[in-house]
Amino acid sequence: DIVCTIDGKKVVCPPESSILEAARSAGIEIPTLCYLKGLTPTGACGICAVEIEEEGGRIIRRSCRVRAKDGMVIYTNTPAVDAYRKERLREILERHPNDCLTCQKTGGNCQLQNVSYLFGINPEKRNVPGRGIDDSSPAMVRDMDKCIACGRCVTVCEEVQKIGIYEMKCNEETGERYVNTKKDVNLSATACINCGQCVKVCPVAALTEKDSIHKAIAALDDPNTTVVWQMAPAIQNTLGEEFCLPPGTDVTKKISAAMKQLGGYAFTTDFSADVTIMEEGTEFIQRVTKGGVLPMMTSCCPGWVKYMEYHYPDQLDHLSTCKSPQQMFGALVKNYLPEKIGVPAENICQISIMPCVAKKFERDRTEMESENGRDVDIVLTTREAAKLFKLRGINLAAIQEEEFDDFMGEGSGAGRIFGTTGGVMEAALRTVVWKLTGGKIDQIDYQEARGYKGLKEASVKIGDLEVKIAIVNGIGNVKPVMEDIRAGKSPYHFIEVMACPGGCLNGGGAPLTASPDMIARRMDQMYESDKNSAIRRSHENKEVQKLYEEYLKEPCGHISHHLLHTAYMD
């Protein structure tokens, strides 16, 4: 181990630690706008500057880029450090727009604002570069004037997601650094999968989700429109954080109450996650027993589907034909629900709350509609939903719980765990194994499917058949799996892929404040919500059973194929 001295305190740290990491391990916070734990430091912002004692006197260094050495003496707060940080902040702020009052990131989420506040910097003169806004993506907006060239989006997209959309550029005339897409084209012209992981790490509002709040308000205020709400599994264990509740708190029934207070029918995507298991499980059994294309791969994550279409158009028949639970829900709202509630489909506005920005892109896909209109009308991220609630005077922490409405409000524990990596597979196994063994094996917990590993594997013995499954946690881990499939040597029968590391509970639309600890807490609480569910298998969902009896007749039947399944584009 290394022993150094930081602010007069002896600090012991592992050999490869940077000064910033060493300080943090000792509880000494150094401000930064670009550092991301575990990823290559860019050193771009300069705010993490410290002073190091050297022979000829003290020198200023960026602490994220310098390794702590034995005997090193470091100061994190000196007049020289303070002056350096202020100068760097001034440089950044002079080039940054000052529409802070209405900026999407205001209210604690803008790290530049937070640091400026701490240092008391507010420059008079501004010289904003005028690079403009790229709103070509259906999911995200890039305000290139707000970009402070910290490089976080470059690093996350390259090192975590392994997509590699952005690049740090340099203006040859001015020497100024800035970030753009590699070929200087708009985001919609790139291979971006809309996962939103770059949005999550952006310290300012250079990257944000495309705003849908005003559309939701217009629908809520229109007397001729009936709003029908759905919320993704992950929402129910994350939205509370925006109202200062502990991470992972199950706020399902509070959101149900909030939906009703805003106006409209309150439902959950857990319901259609259960429908997805009925459909996808049946599709899988058919593929296995009738010799269909294997491995079958889940199709509920729109980031993953886009990745597949872009990089492996020759392998699309591995994807399940099932639409995602969000889209199945929307299709059922427009085709099954109208008769039940006595409201024609054209008067219904279906609003989703999703922890995902790619769900906005999925909603927009041309094939996601029926004769009765778009499956889903508006998609709000978790953050947007919190903002809408606050705008309408709803304090989720204080609101009285209410049950969902009838017909599409029941969800099983299996539906709930869709929101974590491995959850879709575990939910599917609960039903598929039960069905294939005629109810003889009725296993609920599949520990192999749980946890954070990038690739999780398991095999389940069903009579003579050994079903091999895999779970890809994060799109950055999918390439070797796909290369094996393309080469015809994949050992698996069924594979789950979720683009965001951890699954939807760490989606690009989730609350921004999450640390790894908080994400772990969300995951634990989601399994806890499953454990506490009245039913834990999708096929036991009474409202789903009723849907099949009265409307769909059978999984993968005629109506299902028309409304709930789709084809992908090569």
Active site amino acids: 280, 283, 300, 320, 359, 362, 367, 504
Tokens of 181: 């897409």
Distance of closest approach, residue 165 Cβ to ligand SF4, in angstroms: 4
Long-range pairs for 24-32: beta carbons < 8 A, 24 or more residues apart: 28/76, 30/63, 30/76, 31/85, 31/115, 31/118, 32/64
Please answer whether residues 179 and 210 qualify as being in contact, where contact means their C-beta atoms are separated by less than 8 angstroms.
no
Please give the radius of gyration of the chain, using alpha carbons only, rounded to the nearest integer: 25
Of ligand SF4, ligand HC0, none, which one does residue 232 interact with (CB within 5 to 8 Å by kind)? ligand HC0
Of the two residues 357 and 563, which places its CB atom closer to ligand SF4 in the complex? Answer: 357
Distance of closest approach, residue 213 Cβ to ligand SF4, in angstroms: 20
Distance CA 553, CA 560 (A): 9
Distance of closest approach, residue 387 Cβ to ligand HC0, in angstroms: 18
Of ligand HC0, ligand SF4, none, which one does residue 301 interact with (CB within 5 to 8 Å by kind)? ligand HC0
Of the two residues 476 and 507, which places its CB atom closer to ligand HC0 in the complex? Answer: 507
Of ligand HC0, ligand SF4, none, which one does residue 161 interact with (CB within 5 to 8 Å by kind)? ligand SF4
Within 10 Å of residue 400's Cβ, how many Cβ atoms?
A: 8
Distance CA 511, CA 514 (A): 7
Which residues are CB-contacts of 143 (< 8 A; sequence separation ≥ 6)?
97, 133, 205, 206, 208
Concatenating the DSSP letter of every residue in 23-81 gives HHHTT-----SS--TTS-----S-TTEEEEEETTEEEEEETTTSB--TT-EEESS-HHH
Of ligand HC0, ligand SF4, none, which one does residue 467 interact with (CB within 5 to 8 Å by kind)? none
Of ligand SF4, ligand HC0, none, which one does residue 165 interact with (CB within 5 to 8 Å by kind)? ligand SF4
Distance CA 347, CA 334 (A): 10
> Which stretches of the chain bind ligand HC0, using CB under 6 A?
232-234, 269, 273, 300-301, 324-326, 354-356, 359, 418-419, 424, 503-504, 507
Cis ω before 501 (30° cut-off from 0): no
Torsion of CA 503, 505, 506, 510, to 10 degrees: 140
Distance of closest approach, residue 326 Cβ to ligand SF4, in angstroms: 18
Beta-bridge partners for 9 = 6
Of the two residues 115 and 380, which places its CB atom closer to ligand HC0 in the complex? Answer: 380
Of the two residues 156 and 301, which places its CB atom closer to ligand SF4 in the complex? Answer: 156
> Which stretches of the chain bind ligand SF4, using CB under 6 A?
156-157, 161, 163, 165, 192-198
Of the two residues 332 and 354, which places its CB atom closer to ligand HC0 in the complex? Answer: 354
Distance of closest approach, residue 261 Cβ to ligand SF4, in angstroms: 33
Residue with token string 């009308």: 377
On the 0-12 / 13-18 / 19+ scale of CB atoms within 10 A, 322 is buried
Of the two residues 46 and 355, which places its CB atom closer to ligand HC0 in the complex? Answer: 355
Of the two residues 115 and 273, which places its CB atom closer to ligand HC0 in the complex? Answer: 273
Distance CA 449, CA 465 (A): 19
**DSSP class of residue 393?**
T
Of the two residues 151 and 330, which places its CB atom closer to ligand HC0 in the complex? Answer: 330
Distance CA 505, CA 411 (A): 17
Distance CA 420, CA 307 (A): 20
Of ligand HC0, ligand SF4, none, which one does residue 359 interact with (CB within 5 to 8 Å by kind)? ligand HC0
On the 0-12 / 13-18 / 19+ scale of CB atoms within 10 A, 513 is exposed
Of ligand HC0, ligand SF4, none, which one does residue 195 interact with (CB within 5 to 8 Å by kind)? ligand SF4
Of the two residues 66 and 277, which places its CB atom closer to ligand HC0 in the complex? Answer: 277
Tokens of 44: 């771009």
Residue nearest to ligand HC0 (CB): 504
Concatenating the DSSP letter of every residue in 176-207 gives -EEEEETTS--GGGS------HHHHH-SSSSE
Give the angle subtended at the CA of 161 by the CAs of 156 and 165, to the nearest 5°: 70
Distance of closest approach, residue 106 Cβ to ligand HC0, in angstroms: 25
Distance of closest approach, residue 522 Cβ to ligand SF4, in angstroms: 20
Rounded to the nearest angstrom, the gap between the alpha carbon of residue 322 and the centroid of all alpha carbons in its chain is: 20
Of ligand SF4, ligand HC0, none, which one does residue 193 interact with (CB within 5 to 8 Å by kind)? ligand SF4
Of the two residues 197 and 298, which places its CB atom closer to ligand SF4 in the complex? Answer: 197
Distance of closest approach, residue 198 Cβ to ligand SF4, in angstroms: 3
Distance of closest approach, residue 417 Cβ to ligand SF4, in angstroms: 24
Of ligand HC0, ligand SF4, none, which one does residue 157 interact with (CB within 5 to 8 Å by kind)? ligand SF4
Q: Phi and psi for 62 in degrees, rounded to 5? A: -80, 115
Distance CA 212, CA 41 (A): 34
Of ligand SF4, ligand HC0, none, which one does residue 234 interact with (CB within 5 to 8 Å by kind)? ligand HC0
Distance of closest approach, residue 230 Cβ to ligand SF4, in angstroms: 23
Cis ω before 295 (30° cut-off from 0): yes
